[in-house]
Structure 1
Amino acid sequence: MSNPWIAIGALAVVGLAIPLAMMAVSALLRPSVPEQSKRATYESGEVPTGDTRIRFNIQYYMVALLFVVFDIETVLIFPWTVIYSDAVDAVGLGPALLPMVVFIGILAVGLAWAWRNGAVRWVRSPRAQRQYSE
C-alpha cells in the first residue's frame, strides 16, 4: 500500500527545489558589475529627486475600492444566476430570491452612500480646472 503523503511530500520538495536551483544557477551565471548607482534606492540609475512622500488624490483609492467591491459582486452573482432555476424548483421563488435581493440591496445602499459622499465624483485639480476654463 502506498501512502498518499509521499506524493505530496515529493511535490513539495520539487516545488521548493526548482526555484532554489534556478536562483542558484542565476547567481552563478549572471555578470556582477557593482556600481554605486545600482545600489541606490532606484536601481534604474536615476538620481531620486524630490520628497518620497507624494500626496495622491484619495479618489484613486476610492475608485479602486469601489471597483473591487462591484467586481466581487459580479463574481458572487454569476454563480447564483446559474443555479437559480434549480433553487426555485427546490425551495420556491421567495426563499431562493430573498438572499440575493438582500445582497444587492446592501450593495445599493453602499453605492448610494458613496455617491452621496462624493466618492464617485471625480475632483479636478486646480491646474486642470484652470486649463479647462481657458
Structure 2
Amino acid sequence: MNDWIAIGALAVVGLAIPLGMMAVSALLRPSVPEQGKRTVYESGEVPTGTARIRFNIQYYMVALLFLVFDIETVLLFPWVTIYRPALEQGVPLLDVLWPMLTFVGILAVGLVWAWRNGAVQWTSSPRATARKTERETES
C-alpha cells in the first residue's frame, strides 16, 4: 500500500470522527432556547461595559520573560546530565563549560537589558504613590 494512501485515510478518519460527533450531538441534544443561555458568558449575568479592556503591558512582558527563562531551564537539564560523563571521558573542562556559560551569559545580558528598560518593574498605582508620600511626610 502506498504511504500517501495511508496518510490520506488517517486524515479522513481524523476529520470524520470529530465532525460526525458534532453532527450526532446537534441531532440528539435537546434545544431549549433561553435568554440566559444567549448571554455572552452563559452565566446568567448581564454583561456591562465593552469587551475592550486595556490590559497593562507588564503582564505580557513578565510572561515573555518567564518563557525565556523557563526554556533556559529546560535547556540546562540535558547539559547537566552530560556534564559529568563528558569529564569522565576526558573532555577538557573548558570545552564542557564554554557553551553553557556563553548561553547563560547571553541570557544574563538580556535580563540586564530588560531590567534597565523597566520590563520587570511594576508601575505603582496612584493609591500606592499617595500612601508612600504620606508615610514620607509623617517621618
Q: TM-score range by the shorter chain?
A: 0.7 to 0.9
Offset of residue 86 of structure 1: 3.9
Question: CA separation of 1:42/1:18 partners in 2, compared to 1, >3 Å: closer, same or farther?
Answer: same
- Structure 1 partner of 2:60: 61
Question: Which digits, 9 at most, give the CA deviation of each residue in 1:43-99, with x for residues without a partner?
Answer: 444333223321211111111111111111111111121122344436432222211
Q: Which runs of 5+ in 1 are unaligned?
A: none
Q: Which runs of 5+ in 2 are unaligned?
A: none
User: Percent identity, aligned pairs only?
Assistant: 74
Query: How many positions carry a matched residue from both structures?
Result: 133
TM-score (norm 1): 0.76
Q: Mapping of 1:20-59 within 5 angstroms?
A: 20-35=19-34, 38-39=37-38, 41-59=40-58
Give the residue type in structure 2 aligned to 1:81: V
- Structure 1 partner of 2:110: 110
TM-score (norm 2): 0.74
Report SS of the residue matched to 1:22. Answer: helix
Q: Distance in 2 between matches of 1:105 and 1:87?
A: 22
- Structure 1 partner of 2:95: 95
- Structure 2 partner of 1:82: 81
- Larger RCO (alpha carbons 8 Å, 6+ apart): 1
Q: Distance in 2 between matches of 1:26 and 1:131?
A: 57
Q: Distance in 2 between matches of 1:4 and 1:90?
A: 46
Greater mean alpha carbon deviation, residues 124-133 or residues 76-85: 124-133
Give the residue type in structure 1 aligned to 2:127: R
Give the residue type in structure 2 aligned to 1:116: R
Give the residue type in structure 2 aligned to 1:108: A
Q: Distance in 1 between matches of 2:128 and 2:42?
A: 33
Offset of residue 111 of structure 1: 0.7
Offset of residue 114 of structure 1: 1.3
